[in-house]
Amino acid sequence: MKLLSGNHLRALLFLLLTYSCAIKGWCKNFHAPLNDTSGVTGIVPAVQQWRPQQGYFNVEPEKVIIAVNIRDNNKLKTVSANLKADLTPLGFPHIEIIQSNIPLKGSIFLTLSSQTLPNGKESHRIRITSTQVVITGNSVEAIHFGARSVLQMVRAHAGNIPCGEVKDWPSYSRRMLMIDVGRKPWPLEVLKDYVRILSWHKMNELHLHLSDEAFGESYSAIRVQSDVFPQLAAKDLCYSKQEIKELVSFAKGYGIVITPEFDMPGHAAAFTNYFPDCMLKGYPNYLDVSNPKTLTIMKKFVDEMIPLFDAPDFHIGTDEYRVKYPPEEKEKLHQDFRRFINSMNAHIRSKGKNCRIWSGYESMMGKSVSVDSTVIVDMWDPYHDEHNGHLVINSSQYVSYYVPGCHYYGVNPEEVYNKWEPWQAGENVNKPQKNSPRLLGGKLHIWCDQGPTGYTMTEIADLVIPGIQAFAEKLWGTKGSASYDQYLNRSKAILPVSNVTVLNRLELQRSPSAPDVVLNIPNELELTSRNAIIDLPLAHADRADLEYPWTLSVDLKKLQTVEGKNVFLSSDLVELCGNYSWKQKEKIENNGQQNEQIHSGIGIVRAAGARQGTGSPAETYLSHDVSNGFEQQLPLNQWTNLTIVAFKGGASVYINGQKIGETNNQILCPLRHIGSNYGDSFVGKIRNLKVWNRNLSNEEIENTAVSNAKTSSSSIR
């Protein structure tokens, strides 16, 4: 045996020391959470573990290979197809899917793990080298979510993704979004967009609130076709059974389960309208739980709906059933209410599903009847005392409720990111504690209280996506950024979500010389009577409202003083008015009392709620809550320049370049008609009508007003 020389021994010791330090560094990096300095900013929610390495994997635009392990091909067909579909719009039009036993050079390789990875069904690993990407996981869903991480990195790093290894898994099994499609019609394609958005952020459940009534109770809807009760489904938008099955299948391919909810026995006007003999006396939107026929009909309806969905849970609502009965009648009704829940629970469980309800049944005391412990509780009201033993979902109203267009509730993504935790699900001693097996996860909610009008699909998506991102990260169980600003940089880097169109704004023909101008009518037009109307290019289009940011400038010359709102620009959702009237309570001097005074002036009317009367935007329930007036009258026989600048959450109004007021209601620019379609038009002349798809600066607003005033002077001469 030849002994090592001193030089060789020193060299060997140096190599061993270097290797030892590398191993220590490897372990340290691997167990450190992802953060903004780790080299991988392009993943939301942040991964559980990341080990960075030197180099980059370049996704080549000329040819991308998605290789699927031959043994797993049948199981991973949808995953590979969706990966291809979502990678293509990111700038990679040439993608080939092949089968292979081993990872290939230049490929993204998908393979189910031959040995179970720790940390559950959704656990997966991603190994990125300079020559290939390998995604390994415990399940089809795990591989799919690993592919979402790779897609996000491609988006954030323009196809040049850093090498390293990810080990990832969720801390909570249920990561959810609820959409209230009962009060507001949501097109099927929009729901598919939300499936893509949720999946992109590794959420795994879309809860559809499929029945309810809007404020005022003149509008109610059940959104799914029923053959057993053919007239039950909504007339304005109803998903056929085939469409539901299509959505369920589509969502499953994206790792999302669709959980249905049909609200009963409260929030049930759509049912009581169809079954008036099942209505609780004095409560037109409540089912009578003491009537045996109610239970029979609801079971029959549920039996038809259950087979359409593959979710493990079936939700029956049960919230806000608040009845003021005499004491001698109240106790029996409360007990019957709880028996109704237990009967529906037993029936739903007999069909192989779990029954899920909202918290809030506690207000129906009747405590001699306990709600069965097998019922899963969506905990929206944190002040409860009966959920000991129930599986629960954190659905706290104070943290997770979006109500688009309304000035109550609301989600603060920064507060969610910095302070909220999924286990903070209640205020009483029986709430589930941190790491409790009773806590399934958490949910974000979109409630459409304003009914079938209110915010557009684009406005809603723009409002809620920041909340989806924050909830996704906290429900995954990681917090990958030291500060909210750092997190925002990471979250913005992965947007927009591939293949999602719901955020697309209104498209109009634009001049190459002025690409930010979406409408320009410089010539003079005249509305000669209250019934006069002039169609704009989008008069007969499906969509005729421009979402913020936008600026509108127009010159108006009133020729007659007429009754009504004097609408000079309109759509189905918005009216811009020259003489809008509103009531306002004001204190009377000396005695401190309040009186309602009528005011009038330039106004913006936005629809919100169900159509009333003629169906104009001003005649929708609660329209006054989202409409604004400014006490500035248009002078007679004189040109006046009006400019409106609309931004997120509000708009500013200018007369002749001077600001006269501001609204904190978000406004659409109506582009269907000049004048009113309801016989309430402005009578006068209009010119220099111009709309930009951005906010003009104060200087630009003043310059526009001055320019239009010069036009007015020259026309007088």
Predicted confidence (pLDDT) per residue in 376-421, tens digit: 999 887 655 555 688 999 999 999 999 999 999 999 999 999 999 9
Strands 205-209 and 174-180: parallel
User: Who wins on pLDDT, 589 or 9?
Assistant: 589
d(CA 204, CA 252) in angstroms, rounded, equals 9
| Whether pLDDT at 29 is above 70 | no
d(CA 488, CA 510) in angstroms, rounded, equals 33
Buried-exposed string 508-528: b where 16+ CB fall within 10 A, e elsewhere = beeeeeeeebbbebeeeeebe
Asked if residue 146 lies in contact with residue 124, where contact means CB atoms within 8 angstroms, the answer is: yes
Q: Hey, which residues does 111 pair with through a beta bridge?
A: 136
**pLDDT tens digit string along 145-159?**
999 999 999 999 999
The residue-averaged pLDDT of 539-556 equals 96
d(CA 623, CA 520) in angstroms, rounded, equals 29
- Name the pLDDT band for 326 (thresholds 50, 70, 90): confident
The residue-averaged pLDDT of 637-643 equals 96
Closest CA to 205 of 254, 146, 241, 242: 254
d(CA 341, CA 356) in angstroms, rounded, equals 10
Phi/psi for 546 (5° steps) reads: -100, 125
- Name the pLDDT band for 98 (thresholds 50, 70, 90): very high
Q: Which residue has the tokens 């880097």?
A: 493
**pLDDT tens digit string along 646-704?**
999 999 999 999 999 999 999 999 999 999 999 999 999 999 999 999 999 999 999 98
Q: Hey, which residues does 685 pair with through a beta bridge?
A: 526, 557
User: Environment class of residue 126 by beta-carbon count within 10 Å: exposed (0-12), middle (13-18) or buried (19+)?
Assistant: buried
Asked if residue 138 lies in contact with residue 118, where contact means CB atoms within 8 angstroms, the answer is: no
User: Who wins on pLDDT, 431 or 423?
Assistant: 423
**pLDDT tens digit string along 591-609?**
666 677 888 999 999 999 9
Peptide bond just before 45 cis, omega within 30 deg: yes
Give the N- to C-terminal CA distance of the chain in Å, as an integer: 113
Across 634-675, the runs of DSSP E, i.e. the strands, are 639-647, 650-655, 658-663, 669-670, 673-675
What are the tokens at 180?
């209230």
**pLDDT tens digit string along 512-538?**
888 899 999 999 999 999 999 999 999
Beta-carbon contacts of 659 under 8 Å, excluding residues fewer than 6 positions away, are: 652, 653
d(CA 248, CA 266) in angstroms, rounded, equals 27
DSSP string, 127-195: EE-SS-EEEEESSHHHHHHHHHHHHHHHHHTTTEEEEEEEEE--S-SEEEEEEETTTS---HHHHHHHH
d(CA 203, CA 513) in angstroms, rounded, equals 43
Asked if residue 112 lies in contact with residue 138, where contact means CB atoms within 8 angstroms, the answer is: yes
| Whether pLDDT at 425 is above 80 | no
| Residue 478 DSSP symbol | -
What are the tokens at 678?
């309801």
* Top mean-pLDDT range of 198-202, 364-368, 450-454: 198-202
Torsion of CA 219, 224, 226, 229, to 10 degrees: -20
Tell me the HSE value of 716 on the side-chain side, using a 13 A CA sphere.
Answer: 9
Residue 498 vs residues 63, 194, 245, 251, 703: alpha-carbon distances, Å: 19, 12, 23, 15, 40
3-state secondary structure 318-368: CCCCCCCCCHHHHHHHHHHHHHHHHHHHHHHHHCCCEEEEECCHHHCCCCC
Q: Which residue has the tokens 């780790």?
A: 38
Q: What is the pLDDT of residue 215?
A: 83
User: Who wins on pLDDT, 707 or 66?
Assistant: 66
d(CA 210, CA 317) in angstroms, rounded, equals 10
| Residue 392 DSSP symbol | E
d(CA 57, CA 63) in angstroms, rounded, equals 14
What are the tokens at 514?
């002025």
d(CA 674, CA 653) in angstroms, rounded, equals 19
Asked if residue 278 lies in contact with residue 287, where contact means CB atoms within 8 angstroms, the answer is: yes
Largest CA distance in the chain: 114
Helix boundaries (H) for 172-261: 188-200, 241-253
Helix boundaries (H) for 548-685: none
Count CB-CB contacts under 10 A for residue 114.
Answer: 8
Q: What is the pLDDT of residue 429?
A: 47
Q: What is the pLDDT of residue 331?
A: 82
Q: What is the pLDDT of residue 224?
A: 98
Q: What is the pLDDT of residue 258?
A: 98
Phi/psi for 172 (5° steps) reads: -125, 135
Beta-carbon contacts of 543 under 8 Å, excluding residues fewer than 6 positions away, are: 506
Question: Percent of the chain at pLDDT above 90?
Answer: 76
Q: What is the pLDDT of residue 93?
A: 95
d(CA 582, CA 571) in angstroms, rounded, equals 21
- Name the pLDDT band for 633 (thresholds 50, 70, 90): very high
